[in-house]
Amino acid sequence: MRIQDAVIKTGLSKRTIYYYIKEKLIEPSTDSHSGYNDFSDDDIRRLIIIKKLRETGMSISNIRSVLAHPRTTGFYLHKQLNALQTEILILQKTLDNLDEFVSVFPVCRTIKDLENCLADANFKPDSSLYRINFDSRDASLISYYLWQAYMNVPMTEYRQFLWQKIMKYTTEQIKTNLRMFSLYLQYISPEQLDDAGITHYLRDQRIISLTKETIPDFTDELKKSLLDFVKDETMVSQWRLLYEPVIKPATMFGFSCSPLMIEFNPDFKRYYDNIHSCCMLLKEYLDAPKGRELNLLLSKAFGANYDFDESLYGEFEVAASFSQSVYSLLKPSEIQKFLSITV
């Protein structure tokens, strides 16, 4: 179809559509005879999506990412919500500052008078002071990342009740223990988070499928992964930087939510029982003479940054899957920067 038809179907102007073509948000084919753009149904679909996302104030670059990775849409909408609400708070503070200033503003007869009056004025507040948490939204983000492998069940009235309890508990924890984990998930890009979430989902599915016969083999994989972990200086550095503010609170939160998740989805009970069995076998190995070398290497790598007993050895699984986890996405220098602006 021609651009006139695209205008009618989308409600966008020709100028706007041409701009989106220039930005490569859509790439309609070109009629070889006339040289005019030929818009497909998919082009129209994308234009309507772009129009709706632009109505939220989302940037062109973020819309480009959404179109390339539709699974990240929720993350970008979450990001836009927080950005808009922060902007409202900053604008309100600017209004308050301006209102207070105008109430005592004298008559300025010269440029020099005006310069003196404005010298100490501060209308634009420091935006870093408004990096606030929006707890209920952040709880949804955390829950999506942690529990997406267990959402494939019919949402009965009882499950809705359980999920509300989980969300309430998550929101409460964001105000204290999970604050840094929440900020960390928002600090990394939505594409990174989505990739890590898929990996997390697939690993959970594999653990769910373990049997008594395959648990020992998976435990052997954990041993090898832990050995690879302790030999990798970058991962050890990432662990040490993130352990207290992010890894430990998130691990303990997951453990404390286990009773509710077991009720919510029977698959989680299989996951919980299987990974617990693997971790107990791993503990037995580390406590035995044949596991002494690995145990010493782990102690040296972790230093004081572990608490296996409190997490019922769930931290073994976190360390063993570290290379594919959300915690390995940032370089140590990037983690230090993240910590410096959030502490």
* pLDDT, tens digit, 9 for 90 and up, residues 135-156: 667 787 788 788 878 888 888 9
Spell 137-172 as b/e; 16+ CB within 10 A means b. bbbbbbbbbbbebbeeeeeeeeeeebbeebeebbbe
Please write the tens of the pLDDT for every residue from 6-32.
999 999 999 999 999 999 999 998 877
Question: Taking 80 as the threshold, does the pLDDT of residue 261 lie above it?
Answer: yes
Question: Mean per-residue pLDDT for 115-144?
Answer: 73
User: Given CA atoms 268, 274, 280, 282 in this order, what sign does their dihedral have?
Assistant: negative
pLDDT value at residue 177: 86
pTM over 0.85: no
Please write the tens of the pLDDT for every residue from 232-258.
999 999 999 999 999 999 999 988 999
CA angle at 97 for the pair 92 and 98, rounded to the nearest 5°:
95
Question: Taking 70 as the threshold, does the pLDDT of residue 43 lie above it?
Answer: yes
Residues 6+ apart with CB under 8 A from 343: 245
Burial class (CB in 10 A: 0-12, 13-18, 19+), 38: middle
